[in-house]
């Protein structure tokens, strides 16, 4: 197996960006209404909001996982490519489900 060679400072910046995205998305997720009053279109609006919520949740989980991976690489704690690939597999599954 080979090792991933990246500038740790650049990787730390990328990890920070993922972590900031997670915080922002978490805030937005908590703001999604649990009920919708759309009159006759309530069911349709609720279905749309549910789908949007699922997409935002997927972005939350993807950014969280990528942030952890990038942070580990930046900290030189996780530089084995196979380990990173194994951690990326769930991200690929989430993206595939979108």
Answer yes or no: is pLDDT of 4 > 90: no
Distance CA 56, CA 75 (A): 28
**Cα separations in angstroms, 92 against 34, 40, 43:** 28, 38, 31
pLDDT in tens, 56-91: 888 888 999 999 888 888 887 656 778 888 888 888
Number of CB atoms found within 10 A of residue 45's CB: 15
When pLDDT is cut at 50, 70 and 90, the band that residue 30 belongs to is confident
Position 21 pLDDT exceeds 80: yes
Residue 1 located in a structural domain: no
Distance from C-alpha of 17 to C-alpha of 36, rounded to nearest angstrom? 33
> Would you say residue 8 has pLDDT above 90?
no
Instruction: Determine, yes or no, domain membership for 2.
Output: no
Asked whether residue 89 is assigned to any structural domain, the reply reads yes
Q: Which domain holds residue 92?
A: 8-97
What's the rounded Cα separation, in Å, for the pair 22 and 62?
A: 9
Q: Who wins on pLDDT, 16 or 28? A: 16
């Amino acid at each position: 197996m080979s090792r991933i060679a990246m500038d740790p400072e650049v990787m730390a910046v990328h990890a920070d960006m993922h972590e900031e995205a997670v915080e922002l998305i978490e805030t937005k997720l908590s703001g999604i209404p649990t009920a919708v009053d759309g009159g006759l279109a309530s069911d349709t609006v609720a279905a749309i909001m549910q789908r949007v919520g699922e997409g935002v949740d997927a972005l939350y989980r993807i950014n969280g996982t990528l942030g952890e991976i990038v942070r580990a690489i930046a900290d030189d704690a996780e530089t084995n490519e196979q380990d990173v690939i194994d951690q990326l597999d769930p991200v690929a599954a989430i993206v595939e489900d979108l």
